[in-house]
C-alpha cells in the first residue's frame, strides 16, 4: 500500500533563505507526483507536476525533483519570501488508469520577514 | 477563467439533518473528486467519479452520498449517518485519458462544515 510522508510537519526560515521541502513515498511505481500549495482556509493550488519519466520541473523560484528509485521528491524554493508562507503538500498518482491520489500531510512553512 | 466553484463557503448542520455541498466545474474535466481534510491529516478521498452517471467510493464513503448527473456538477450530501462531519471539504477535478492523466488536479476553495 502506497504511503506518502512529509517531514518536517512545520518549518520556519528567515526571508531570503533557500529551502528544501521533502516528500517520501513507499512504492516507486508511480505515474506522476504533484506539489501543491495551500493557504489557510483555501483550496489547493497546483505548483508543479513531475511525470514518472522526468527528473525535475521548474517554475520561477520553484524546482521539484523526483528520484523514484529512492522514493523521494524535493521541492526547492529559492530566495524565500514572506508570501511563500503556506502549507505545501505532495501527492502521488499510482498509475494512469488510477484515479486515486495519495496525499502527504503537508509541511507548514513560515518565512519570517 | 476556468475553475471549480464550491458553495457555500461555510455550512452548519443540525443533528439528524442532511446537507448538500455544491461543486461545479467549467474545465471540461471528466473526473471529479471529493476530499475531506481534518487538522493535521492529509486529504482523504470520499468519492470520485470518472464519468457522468458513474461514481466510486473512496476510503471514507460511509455517511456520504454523491450524484453525477451532469459533467459539470458533482454534489456531495453529508447524511445524518455521518457522526463526525465537522471538517473542511474539498472538491477537485482532472482530465482523463492518455493526455489528461498527466494534467494537474484542480481544486475548489472548499466548504467548511460545522455542527450546531
pLDDT digits (tens, 9 = 90+) for A82-100: 999 999 999 999 887 777 8
C-alpha cell at position B111: 466548504
Instruction: Judge whether B110 is closer than 8 Å to chain A, CB to CB.
Output: yes
Is B104:B112 a contact under the CB 8 Å cutoff?
Answer: no
Q: In what order do the strands lie in the sheet with A56-59?
A: A4-5, A19-25, A72-77, A62-67, A56-59
Dihedral, A108, A111, A112, A113 alpha carbons, nearest 10: -150
The answer to whether the Cβ–Cβ distance between A49 and B101 falls below 8 Å is no
Is A68:A1 a contact under the CB 8 Å cutoff?
Answer: no
The percentage of residues in chain A with a pLDDT greater than 70, rounded to a whole number, is 100
pLDDT digits (tens, 9 = 90+) for B20-63: 999 999 999 999 999 999 987 889 999 999 999 999 999 999 99
A38 closest CA partner among B114, B110, B58:
B110
Residues of B in contact with A40 (CB under 8 A): none
The pLDDT of residue B58 = 95
B23 closest CA partner among B41, B1, B5, B45:
B5
B74 Cα to chain A: minimum distance (Å): 15
The pLDDT of residue A44 = 96
B102 or B110: whose pLDDT is higher?
A: B110
Amino acid at each position: 500500500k502506497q504511503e506518502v510522508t512529509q517531514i518536517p510537519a512545520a518549518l520556519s526560515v528567515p526571508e531570503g533563505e533557500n529551502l528544501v521541502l521533502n516528500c517520501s513515498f513507499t512504492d516507486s511505481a508511480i505515474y506522476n507526483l504533484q506539489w501543491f500549495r495551500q493557504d489557510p482556509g483555501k483550496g489547493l493550488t497546483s505548483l508543479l507536476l513531475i511525470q514518472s519519466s522526468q527528473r525535475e520541473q521548474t517554475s520561477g523560484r520553484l524546482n521539484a525533483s523526483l528520484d523514484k528509485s529512492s522514493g523521494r521528491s524535493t521541492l526547492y524554493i529559492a530566495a524565500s519570501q514572506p508570501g511563500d508562507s503556506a502549507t505545501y503538500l505532495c501527492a502521488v498518482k499510482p498509475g494512469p488508469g488510477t484515479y486515486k491520489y495519495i496525499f502527504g500531510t503537508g509541511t507548514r512553512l513560515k518565512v519570517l520577514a | 477563467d476556468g475553475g471549480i466553484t464550491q458553495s457555500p463557503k461555510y455550512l452548519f448542520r443540525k443533528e439528524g439533518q442532511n446537507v448538500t455541498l455544491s461543486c461545479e466545474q467549467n474545465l471540461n474535466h471528466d473526473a471529479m473528486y471529493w476530499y475531506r481534510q481534518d487538522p493535521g491529516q492529509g486529504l482523504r478521498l470520499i468519492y470520485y467519479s470518472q464519468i457522468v452517471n458513474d461514481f466510486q467510493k473512496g476510503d471514507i464513503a460511509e455517511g456520504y452520498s454523491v450524484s453525477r448527473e451532469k459533467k459539470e456538477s458533482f454534489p456531495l450530501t453529508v447524511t445524518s449517518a455521518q457522526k463526525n462531519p465537522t471538517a473542511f471539504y474539498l472538491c477537485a477535478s482532472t482530465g482523463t485519458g492518455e493526455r489528461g492523466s498527466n494534467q494537474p488536479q484542480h481544486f475548489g476553495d472548499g466548504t467548511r462544515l460545522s455542527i450546531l
